[in-house]
Amino acid sequence: MNAEQYQERQLELAGWPVNLTSYRIGEEWHCKADNVSPGAGLCRTTGTTREEAEQKAIERATELLSRTRRREV
């Protein structure tokens, strides 16, 4: 199976830039959130619709990033 309806967008969550990538494989939607700067994967989610999969990824990424401490350089 191939990924269909691939979409990538950038948004800010908890003060951090995040890349949100979503696509459909078969009848299931997949979404991946990653931190833009180092490109570290934050989470991967699935759902029956694009909106559901993206919302789950946004919630989880926000939770993870809000626990991240920033240090002054």
**pLDDT tens column, 13-26:** 988 999 999 999 99
Tokens of 38: 């180092």
Q: Which helix (H) or strand (E) holds 19?
A: strand 16-25
For tokens 């694009």, what's the residue? 50
User: Taking the model in full, what pTM does it have?
Assistant: 0.87
Contact 47, 53 (CB under 8 A): yes
The domain 4-66 is placed in CATH, from the list 3.30.70, 3.40.50, 3.30.67, 1.10.260, at: 3.30.67
Report the distance separating Cα 71 and Cα 62, nearest Å. Answer: 19
Q: 41 by DSSP, 3-state: which?
A: strand
**Structure confidence at residue 50 (pLDDT):** 96
From residue 66, alpha-carbon distances to 15, 31, 52 in Å are: 8, 20, 21
The domain segmentation of the chain, as residue ranges, is: 4-66
